[in-house]
C-alpha cells in the first residue's frame, strides 16, 4: 500500500450559464462579426473559478454580447494571469472559436510580451524546459522533466544595474510559462513574489526596496498579438503600449540604474 501518495485533481466546474453579465468597461482593441481583441487590465481574472465568481473577463464579455454564452468558455481562446496586462483574442462564433483554438495549437498565433526581470540574462535566449504542476504547491507550476513541452524565446531590450527590460515570445502556452521559465534561468520577473526563490530575494534585496511603492504585481504585459484571421485569412497584428506601472519602473531604471548615467 502506498499510504503516503496524494492525488490532487483540479476541476473547473463553472458553466457558461452560471456566469452573470457585468459592465466592466472592457477595452476593445478590435472587433468584427467573428472575433474581438481585448486589452485586459491588471487585477482581472479571465474566467470564473474558486475565489473569483464575478468581475472576470467572462462576466464582462457576456454583458457586452449575451450570445457568447453559446460559445465554449464564452469564446475565450487563451488566458492571461490575473495581474498580467495586455492582449488576448476572443471568438464570437463557434466556427471562429475552434479555428482559433486550432491556430493556437499549431503555434500560428504569435504572442509577444514585455517584462522586467532581475539580473542580466543573455541578450538572446531560448528556454526549452517542460512545465507541470508543482509537486507540493499544487496551485503553482514548475519545470519538470515529466511535464508538457514548453518553449520561450527572449531578447533583452535594455539592461540596467540589477534589472533588464526583456521582450518575450511564447511558442507554447503553459500556465505561468514566462514566470516559471524566467525563474528557472535565475532571472525572475520583478514583482512576482509568488515565484521568487530565496536566493533571488537575497540577490535583489536592495533593488526590490527601491520599488516597494511602485511594484504590486508581476511586471508582465502581453504587448503584441499576430495571426491570420480564422475566417477571412487577413493578417492581423495589434500592439498596445505598456501600462503606466511598467513605464514608471523603466523610467526609474533609466534615471537611477542606467549604465549610461
Residue 216: count of CB within 10 angstroms of its CB: 14
Residue 4 has pLDDT above 50, yes or no: no
Residue 81 annotated among the catalytic residues of the structure? yes
More confident residue, 12 or 59: 59
2 DSSP assignment? -
> pLDDT tens digit string along 232-256?
999 999 999 999 999 989 998 898 8
- Spatial contact of 74 and 66, defined as CB atoms under 8 Å apart: no
Give the model's pLDDT for residue 212. 61
Q: Nearest-CA neighbor of 115 among 226, 239, 242?
A: 242
Give the model's pLDDT for residue 200. 56
Provide mean pLDDT across the span 191-203: 69
Catalytically annotated residue among 5, 81, 83, 251: 81
Q: What angle do CA 224, 227, 231 make, to 5 degrees?
A: 140
Q: Where are the domains of the chain?
A: 1-106, 108-226+242-261
Task: Tell me the sheet residues that pair with 117.
Answer: 164, 189
> pLDDT tens digit string along 161-175?
889 999 999 999 899
Dist CA 46 CA 78 (whole Å):
9
Dist CA 28 CA 41 (whole Å):
11
3-state secondary structure 130-196: CEEECCCCCCCEEECCCCECCEEEEEEEEEECCEEEEEEEECCCCCCHHHHHHHHCCCCECCCCCCC
Give the model's pLDDT for residue 151. 96
Give the model's pLDDT for residue 228. 98
Give the model's pLDDT for residue 116. 95
Cell numbers describing residue 81:
494571469
Confidence class for position 144, pLDDT limits 50, 70, 90: very high
Please say whether the dihedral angle defined by the alpha carbons of residues 133, 137, 141 and 145, taken in this order, is positive or negative: negative
Residue 141 has pLDDT above 50, yes or no: yes
> pLDDT tens digit string along 102-134?
999 999 999 999 999 988 999 999 999 999 998
Give the model's pLDDT for residue 5. 45
Confidence class for position 229, pLDDT limits 50, 70, 90: very high
Residue 214 has pLDDT above 80, yes or no: no
What's the gap between Cα 104 and its chain centre?
15
3-state secondary structure 16-64: HHHCCCCCCCCCEEEECCCEEEEEECCCCCCCCECCECCCCHHHHHHHH
Provide mean pLDDT across the span 49-62: 92
Give the model's pLDDT for residue 9. 41
Buried/exposed 31-66: b ≥16 CB within 10 Å, e otherwise: eeebbbbbbbebebbbbbeeebeeebbbbbbbbbbe
Note whether 1-106 and 108-226+242-261 share their fold.
yes
Residue 260: count of CB within 10 angstroms of its CB: 5
Provide mean pLDDT across the span 64-69: 95
Q: What angle do CA 49, 241, 84 make, to 5 degrees?
A: 20
**Predicted model pTM:** 0.89
- Spatial contact of 52 and 43, defined as CB atoms under 8 Å apart: no
The CATH number that domain 108-226+242-261 falls under is 3.30.2350.10
Residue 7 has pLDDT above 60, yes or no: no
Give domain 1-106's CATH architecture. 2-Layer Sandwich (3.30)
Amino acid at each position: 500500500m502506498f499510504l503516503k501518495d496524494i492525488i490532487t485533481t483540479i476541476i473547473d466546474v463553472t458553466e457558461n450559464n452560471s456566469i452573470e453579465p457585468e459592465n466592466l468597461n472592457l477595452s476593445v482593441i478590435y472587433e468584427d462579426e467573428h472575433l474581438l481583441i481585448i486589452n485586459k487590465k491588471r487585477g482581472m481574472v479571465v474566467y470564473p473559478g474558486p475565489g473569483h465568481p464575478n468581475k472576470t473577463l467572462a462576466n464582462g464579455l457576456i454583458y457586452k454580447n449575451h450570445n457568447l454564452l453559446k460559445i465554449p468558455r464564452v469564446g475565450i481562446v487563451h488566458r492571461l494571469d490575473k495581474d498580467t496586462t495586455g492582449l488576448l483574442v476572443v471568438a464570437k462564433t463557434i466556427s471562429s472559436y475552434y479555428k482559433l483554438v486550432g491556430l493556437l495549437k499549431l503555434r500560428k498565433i504569435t504572442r509577444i510580451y514585455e517584462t522586467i526581470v532581475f539580473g542580466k540574462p543573455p541578450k538572446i535566449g531560448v528556454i526549452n524546459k517542460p512545465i507541470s504542476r508543482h509537486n507540493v504547491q499544487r496551485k503553482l507550476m514548475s519545470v519538470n522533466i515529466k511535464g508538457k513541452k514548453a518553449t520561450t524565446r527572449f531578447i533583452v531590450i535594455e539592461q540596467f544595474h540589477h534589472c533588464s527590460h526583456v521582450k518575450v515570445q511564447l511558442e507554447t502556452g503553459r500556465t505561468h510559462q514566462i514566470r516559471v521559465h524566467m525563474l528557472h534561468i535565475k532571472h525572475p520577473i520583478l514583482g512576482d513574489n509568488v515565484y521568487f526563490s530565496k536566493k533571488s530575494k537575497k540577490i535583489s534585496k536592495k533593488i526590490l526596496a527601491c520599488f516597494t511603492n511602485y511594484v504590486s504585481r508581476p511586471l508582465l504585459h502581453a504587448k503584441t498579438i499576430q495571426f491570420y484571421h480564422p475566417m477571412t485569412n487577413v493578417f492581423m497584428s495589434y500592439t498596445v503600449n505598456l501600462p503606466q506601472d511598467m513605464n514608471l519602473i523603466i523610467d526609474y531604471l533609466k534615471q537611477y540604474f542606467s549604465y549610461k548615467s
